[in-house]
């Protein structure tokens, strides 16, 4: 399948940034990476979620909108394709699991107003990784502020993604089970993924799971 705008998504530690970098390099595509480390509330959120949930989610919402709006709107003549390691809906998935009901209702109103101004990707790829493997990956990369991420938190985020995938019929959604794939270090594994993604006759509204 040809694409102009491709999104690689997944839970924390799934490898979405790594795969997005690889695909962007192969296809000479513009790469959009989430600037999560620039959120000043993130380390505080992991230490005290109840206190910092709303500011951290608002900061992410503003940063993601500004980045996507600016970079996708400004087309590059030499890089017609775009690969991103997140989709704007990520804001809603995470906030639903971190905010109180009244905060989430306000947040969702803001989200729905802003979302209308952003394009829909040609293909949405979700990398499925079991929670045990996510925890292992998170520990391996050694970000100090992620040490407090719990199994329960990852499970609720995973459920949020699954609910999103089931509800959306306006996207071409591909779910890849990458639990046994080391696409970062094994070229054969990476080639299996790209073959699965770009050789299939995918159409808008199609939802497929590729083991």
- Catalytic residue numbers read 85
Residues 54 and 102: their CA atoms lie apart, in Å, by 11
Asked whether the beta carbons of 60 and 39 are under 8 A apart, the reply is: yes
Question: At CA 56, angle to CA 156 and CA 140, rounded to 5?
Answer: 60
Q: Which residue has the tokens 């779910």?
A: 175
Residues 156 and 153: their CA atoms lie apart, in Å, by 5
């Amino acid at each position: 399948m040809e694409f102009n705008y491709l999104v690689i998504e997944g839970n924390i530690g799934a490898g979405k940034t790594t795969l997005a970098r690889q695909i962007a390099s192969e296809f000479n595509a513009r790469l959009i990476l989430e600037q999560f480390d620039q959120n000043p509330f993130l380390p505080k959120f992991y230490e005290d979620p109840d206190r910092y949930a709303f500011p951290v989610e608002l900061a992410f919402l503003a940063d993601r909108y500004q980045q996507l709006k600016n970079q996708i709107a400004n087309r590059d003549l030499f890089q017609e394709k775009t690969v991103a390691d997140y989709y704007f809906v990520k804001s809603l998935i995470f906030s639903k699991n971190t905010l109180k009901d009244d905060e989430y209702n306000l947040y969702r109103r803001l989200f729905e107003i802003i979302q209308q101004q952003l394009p829909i990707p040609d293909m949405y790829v979700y990398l499925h990784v079991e929670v045990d493997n996510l925890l292992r990956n998170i520990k391996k990369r050694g970000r100090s502020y992620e040490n407090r991420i719990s199994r329960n938190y990852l499970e609720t985020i995973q459920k949020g993604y699954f609910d999103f995938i089931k509800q959306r019929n306006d996207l071409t959604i591909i779910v890849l089970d990458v639990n046994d794939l080391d696409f970062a270090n094994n070229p054969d594994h990476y080639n299996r993924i790209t073959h699965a993604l770009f050789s299939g006759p995918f159409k808008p509204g199609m939802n497929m799971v590729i083991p």
